[in-house]
Amino acid sequence: QTVVTQEPSFSVSPGGTVTLTCGLSSGSVSTSSYPGWYRQTPGQAPRTLIYKTNTRSSGVPDRFSGSILGNKAALTITGAQADDECDYYCILYMGSGIWMFGGGTKLTVL
């Protein structure tokens, strides 16, 4: 069964830029996968950052951007801040009404 892959962890320096990726164990991610990105702090519900590859959800600052890089979806955070330290999840549309989340990336800002 195809799974959605993400880096388990990543670190970035304050003020730096980081790119997280979202791929498929078999095949390539395209805009037809409608990639989305979410962030979640401990004990809180997730919040949507990006949907349909590169559209920012309401109220999301332009430090967050989405794209397709090679055969993966990507989330780029520029000017990383301390409160960007949290978990990031991607989602892909697998077809036939099925959506699937990646395993999540724990981002550390230090």
Partner 1 sequence: EVQLVESGGGLVQPGGSLRLSCAASGFTFSSYWMAWVRQAPGKGLQWVANIKHDGNEIYYVDSVKGRYTISRDNAKNSQYLQMSSLRAEDTAVYYCVTGHYGDLHWGQGTLVTVSS
Query: Residues interacting with partner 1, by CB under 8 A?
Result: 34-36, 38, 40, 45-48, 51-52, 55, 57, 87, 89, 91, 93, 96-104
**DSSP secondary structure code for residue 82 in this structure:** G
Nearer to partner 1, 10 or 34 (CB): 34
Shortest distance, position 63 Cβ to partner 1, whole Å: 18
Shortest distance, position 108 Cβ to partner 1, whole Å: 17
Nearer to partner 1, 76 or 100 (CB): 100
* Per-state percent for the chain, helix, strand, coil, to nearest 5: 5, 50, 45
Neighbours of 35 (CB within 10 A): 27
Shortest distance, position 110 Cβ to partner 1, whole Å: 22
C-alpha torsion angle, residues 54, 55, 57, 58 (rounded to 10): 140
